[in-house]
Each structure stands twice: as C-alpha cells, then as structure tokens.
Amino acid sequence: LKLRLPVLTYIPCCAAPRFGAAASRPAMQRPAMRGLGRAAWPLLARRPRRVQHLASPPGAVACAPAAVGPSWRCAGGARGFAALEPDPYAPRGDPYAREPGYDPYGPGARRNTFDEGGRGHYDGSDRRRGGSADARQSEGGFSRGGSSASFESQRAGLLGGVPDRMGGVGQSLKQLNWQEESLVTIKKNFYVEHPEVAAMSPEQVRQAMQELNARIEGASPHPRPVRSFSHITLPQELVRGVTAAGFDRPTPIQSVGWPTALSGRDMVGIAQTGSGKTLAYLLPALVHISAQPPLRSGDGPVGLVLAPTRELAMQIQTEVLRFTQGGAIRCTACFGGVSRYGQASDLRRGVEILIATPGRLLDFLEAGVTNLKRVTYLCLDEADRMLDMGFEPQIRKVVSQIRPDRQTLMWSATWPKEIQRLARDFCREDPVKLTIGTEELSLNPNITQQIEVVGEYEKRDRFLSWIRDIAGQDQKVLVFTETKRGADSLCRELQYQQLSAAAIHGDKEQRQRDRTLSEFRSGRTNVLIATDVAQRGLDIKDVSYVVNYDVPKTLEDYIHRIGRTGRAGARGTAVTYFPAEAYTPDMIRMARQISKAMRDVGQTPPEGLVELTSARR
C-alpha cells in the first residue's frame, strides 16, 4: 500500500485537464480518494514542477500539483484537495508570485531565472504548432524552454479556473476610442521633387521604370523614380550615414519607394530578399520621426517596425543605429529569447523608433510598459512570413492600438490574398503598390547555381573536398543543414580540418548565437553552418557562397536560402547537393521546381537533375 500510495494519488494530477476548470465537482470527491489525499499530497508537493509563468492567484479553487505554476502549490487537506498556499520552493523574485496588479517590469521588480532566455517561458506569440523546432524557437517573442508537448499540455487548461495566459495574449488590451484621445498633430509629406526628376518626360519615366524592372499601381499621382542620393532631401546626419555606409546609388526598390514613402502615402512593397527594402523604409521613417513633436514622459514610440524573428529585429536595429549614432532619435528592439528587463527599461525611458516581434510587444503593452498612441509611422517587414507563422491575430491586436491616421508601409516577397486583405484593412487610403520583378517568388539572376547530384554516402566527402579548394580564398560560406545534430557534426568535421567554422541553431543560447553571427560578419569565422533559423531575414554582407548541404523541403525555402548571397546587386554562388537516390514524390517535385526556376533566369539545370524530373514513382 505504501508503494502504491503516490501512484494512486498521482492519477488526478495527470487528469488535471479534465478537472481543472471545475475542481469543486462532486466527481472530484470520490470516496476512493478521500483517505489517500491527506497523506500523499505533501509527498507530491515536496518538489513542485518548475513549469512556465502560470501561477494561480490567491483564493483560487483547489487543484492538482500539475495544475499550478512555479509559485503556488496545493496544500494537503480533506478529500485530498485544499486551497492554494504560497510555495516555499518557488524561485525568489518570480514576478508572478506576487499580489495582483504587481508590475513585473517596474523599477522595483526583482530579476528571476525564468526571464534569462535559457529556460524562458512561452511568450504567447507562437501560434503555429508543428513545423521545425528551430523555426519556432526563432519566431517573434518565442523563448526557448521545454518541449512542444509540455507547452501544449500547459495551454490545454491545466490551470483550475485561471485564464490561459498564452492562448489569450493581448486579450486584456482595451479597444481605444480615438475620438476621445488627445492626439498630437502629425506631418507626413516631406518630399520635395528634385528639378532633374521633375524634368523627366513620360517616356523617360517609362524607360527608367523598365530598367528598374519596377511597376507602380494604385491611386495617382505616381512619383517619378530617383536615380541618385542627391535627388532626395535628407537631414545632414542621414547623408553622412549613407556616405559612410558606402552606398553609391539607390537600388530599384529604393528608387521608387523613397519618393512614395516621403510623400506620406501608404505603400505596399513587393520585392525579393536582398533588394535593399530595409533602407527603403528606414530613411523615410527617420525623416518622418525627426519632424514630429518631441516625446513627453509616458509617450510611446513614433515609429514602429514589426518583424517576424528576433534575428531580423536585431538586424534592423543595427541598420537604424548606423544612421542615428549621436543623434536625437533613440531606438530599441524587443524580442523573445532574452531578458525583458533591459528592453522594458529602454521603453520606459522613451524611444522614438521601436523594432519588435509581435509576441514580446503585446506582452509589454499588456503590462503597461509602453503604449502605441504616438505611433504615426508603421512598417510591417516580411508580412508574408508573419502570416505564414500564424501571427495575424497578434498583428491585428497591435495595429488596433495605433491611431488610424498613421502612415502604413507593408513589405512582402509575394502578393497572396492574405497580404491583400491586410493591406485593405490596415491602409487608410488606397495604397501605392510597388513591385520589383514579379509578384511570385523568383530566383535572383545574380546568383550562379551549381547542383551536384550525389549519393548520400559520398556527399560529405564531396563537400569537404570542395570547401578545402576554396579555403584559401578567404570567402564567407553559409551552409544550411536540415537538423541541429547535422549542423554540429559538420562543424566539428570542419574544425578538425583546421577550418574556421561555427554552427548556429535553435539549441544555442541567444548570446552564443549573437557572438557567432558577429564573428561571421567580421570575418573572424569563414564558414557558418546553420539550420533554417537563418534562412530568411539575415543580411550578412559579402557572403560569397551558400551551400544547401541538405535539400530544403520547398522551393520557397530554397529561394530564401540562396538569397543570403548575391544581395544588393552583388554576385554570388549557390551549391546544392541533391541526393541521387531521391526517388520520392517530394524530391521529384523539388527537382522539377528547381529546374524550372533555373531556366526562368537563363541557367541550365544539370543532366542529373533533369533525369530526376522525368522519374516516376
């Protein structure tokens, strides 16, 4: 009986989802449990589980140990269930262990181990269940810690009568009545057309747009493209930043996008990765922000950029700091995977421009750390990817907190119906739609593609032989693998070969990932091996080669992977090792899609790949 006692008593703990919302039901008071509970509960509560920030408040109904968070436990009592009491084993400084209304991001808040990123909690922004763990760990506002199964069980309602904090992120935000809000007057039109641009004839404009491979749609008038940095009026600090960055002329999306954005028009930009779209919306954003009234105490940011991943958010922040060092515009980035306290401190001091992932931003809005009433320049970067990752509900909650007379810019690589619906809902007026190239995903013609059809057993030897041949060229090589274990194994092999290599994937701590990327950008590391966590959004200059050590699952992933090279008009090379024995429907489909995409940009697929396209299964 003593051996069976904890096991029998643990049955209602595992069945908490059935009982959690109605712990007072008569079914919970079965006679078989009455005599076991008082003796067994202290044994089970002795070492409470350290789950995420899911704490039941004082006065909650009785529950099982699995139903409470790290700061509360069930005390033993009659019938095996009793009221909650504070857990003496809870980590000190846990903000959710305090009284209702406590501000975990305030000046008096104490740090705790749950916000360090190593065992952080689910931030509520990851709406997609399934997919690779690497992708989920890199998504906006998602902090690593525990398996997907544990997160799912905690989302399923293990809290007895307590609302699910993850599933209802943003639910506590109230709907603002903008008629009653005191809003500052904004200025949006700053564009002064240069005389050389104004003198362009319609035929010259048509020819310039054809050379840029650009199209403009939407309400007239359509701005003429600018072909030089001298054609736009910028503050002196921005001119110095552009000069220091070494830019010689605008990219196509910048040539058409700058006049539109500086005119205060809502805009949708369709352009592939590496087209220079980040600078296309950042320079107008800085001009817009500089012209607005200064921030007062308690004001939120003036410019807001939403990004799908923390890597992209950090990259955008780096670009902003390049042009605002020593200036009056302050910037910060908010994303998951790191402590909230530094980010919250920056927001409380006030920033003019904020780059954020949806989940972390909603977390701060719910906690009252900041507000979006001063936002007049909104940009959604990689909107198509945010929708693919399931962030549409979070994006809509964020946008509902922004004044309706804002300027809105959306950027995407494609133009699906979902993006069209967002554009109709978020843009106040008929937006100007700029398209560079096509609306469908297409390969960058500046990237030379090399497809190696090899057997799985000889792939590693072929890759090692190839990379030893280019090792003396001092070139940056970005290698993609399918699994984290494969990335680490390949990294060890390259290091054994005396090559400067490092690996990055979702199991790496955020600080380690930042350090690895910094070393790769600076050239101290020549070979970076990554999983899909880095296939999109990272803008690393001078990447000469991209290697698909493992073939991606979709053509979209293939295009985004090889798009890490050949950026901003430069040339690059992509090497893909295609398995020779891949006679599966998925691989045959990929072979056909890659062959067609290569022909579309004037490149000839190899014979081995063509043979796979004609295979039948």
**pLDDT of 228 over the 80 cut:** yes
Could you give the CA distance from residue 606 to residue 610 in angstroms, rounded to a whole number?
6
The string of pLDDT tens digits covering residues 579-610 is: 887 778 888 889 999 998 898 888 999 988 88
3-state secondary structure 43-77: HHHCCCCCCCCCCCCCCCCCCCHHHCCCCEEECCC
**The dihedral of CA 289, 293, 295, 299: what is its sign?**
negative
The string of pLDDT tens digits covering residues 262-290 is: 999 999 999 877 778 899 999 999 999 99
- Identify the band that residue 174 occupies on the pLDDT scale cut at 50, 70 and 90: confident
Could you give the CA distance from residue 250 to residue 88 in angstroms, rounded to a whole number?
61
Is the previous residue joined to 221 through a cis bond, with omega within 30 degrees of 0?
yes
Alpha-helix residue ranges (DSSP H) falling in 434-538: 459-469, 484-496, 510-522
Angle of helix 31-45 versus helix 4-14 axis, rounded to 10? 100
**pLDDT of 148 over the 90 cut:** no
The string of pLDDT tens digits covering residues 411-461 is: 988 888 888 899 999 987 788 999 988 767 778 888 999 999 998 889 999
**Structural tokens at position 595:** 């062959």
Q: Per DSSP, which regions of 82-162 are E strands?
A: 84-86
Higher-scoring residue by pLDDT: 243, 556: 556
Could you give the CA distance from residue 97 to residue 82 in angstroms, rounded to a whole number?
19
Q: DSSP code of 453?
A: E
3-state secondary structure 307-367: CCEHHHHHHHHHHHHHHHCCCCCCEEEECCCCCHHHHHHHHHHCCCEEEECHHHHHHHHHH
**Which residues are CB-contacts of 229 (< 8 A; sequence separation ≥ 6)?**
239, 242, 247, 249, 250
pLDDT score at 324: 84
Which residue bears the tokens 């603002």? 176
Q: DSSP code of 550?
A: S
In 3D space, the residue among 477, 483, 501, 500 whose CA is nearest the CA of residue 491 turns out to be 501
**pLDDT of 2 over the 90 cut:** no
- Identify the band that residue 544 occupies on the pLDDT scale cut at 50, 70 and 90: very high
In 3D space, the residue among 187, 224, 216, 237 whose CA is nearest the CA of residue 377 turns out to be 187
Higher-scoring residue by pLDDT: 174, 335: 335
**pLDDT of 162 over the 90 cut:** no
Q: DSSP code of 585?
A: H
Q: Are 405 and 186 in contact (CB under 8 A)?
A: yes
- Identify the band that residue 82 occupies on the pLDDT scale cut at 50, 70 and 90: very low
- Provide the 3-class DSSP secondary structure of residue 195: helix
Backbone angles phi, psi at 543, to 5 degrees: -80, 110
Per-residue CA distances from 107 to 242, 307, 343, 349, 371 (Å)? 38, 28, 13, 11, 18
Angle of helix 392-399 versus helix 358-367 axis, rounded to 10? 40
Q: Are 373 and 180 in contact (CB under 8 A)?
A: no
Q: Across all residues in the chain, what is the average pLDDT?
A: 75
Maximal C-alpha separation, the chain: 95
pLDDT score at 105: 52
3-state secondary structure 456-484: HHHHHHHHHHHHHHCHHHCCEEEEECCCH
**pLDDT of 218 over the 70 cut:** yes
Domains and CATH numbers, the chain: 4-155 (no CATH), 195-436 (3.40.50.300), 447-613 (3.40.50.300)
Q: What is the mean pLDDT of residues 159-167?
A: 36
Q: Are 446 and 571 in contact (CB under 8 A)?
A: yes
Q: Are 160 and 20 in contact (CB under 8 A)?
A: yes
The string of pLDDT tens digits covering residues 470-528 is: 877 788 999 999 999 999 999 999 999 899 999 998 788 878 888 998 899 888 999 99
**Which residues are CB-contacts of 404 (< 8 A; sequence separation ≥ 6)?**
178, 428
The string of pLDDT tens digits covering residues 383-404 is: 988 988 889 999 999 999 999 9
Higher-scoring residue by pLDDT: 474, 59: 474
pLDDT score at 207: 92
Rounded to 10 degrees, the C-alpha dihedral 363/368/373/376 comes to -40
pLDDT score at 103: 53
User: Element (H or E) spanning 528, and its range?
Assistant: strand 527-530
pLDDT score at 533: 64
pLDDT score at 256: 92
Among 5-19, 298-312, 383-397, the least confident range:
5-19
- The amino acid occupying position 592 is R
**Which residues are CB-contacts of 568 (< 8 A; sequence separation ≥ 6)?**
251, 274, 275, 276
**pLDDT of 168 over the 80 cut:** no
Rounded to 10 degrees, the C-alpha dihedral 279/281/284/289 comes to -110
**The dihedral of CA 415, 418, 419, 425: what is its sign?**
positive
Per-residue CA distances from 225 to 182, 434, 439 (Å)? 37, 11, 20
Q: What is the mean pLDDT of residues 304-311?
A: 92
**Which residues are CB-contacts of 241 (< 8 A; sequence separation ≥ 6)?**
322, 323, 324
pLDDT above 70 covers a percentage of the chain that reads: 70
Q: DSSP code of 226?
A: P
- Identify the band that residue 30 occupies on the pLDDT scale cut at 50, 70 and 90: very low
Q: Are 232 and 190 in contact (CB under 8 A)?
A: no
In 3D space, the residue among 222, 228, 277 whose CA is nearest the CA of residue 253 turns out to be 277
The string of pLDDT tens digits covering residues 95-110 is: 443 444 545 555 555 4
**Structural tokens at position 284:** 């107008």
Q: Are 414 and 423 in contact (CB under 8 A)?
A: no
Which residue bears the tokens 């903008």? 178
Burial (CB count <10 Å: 0-12, 13-18, 19+), residue 164: middle
The string of pLDDT tens digits covering residues 341-362 is: 999 999 999 999 999 999 999 9
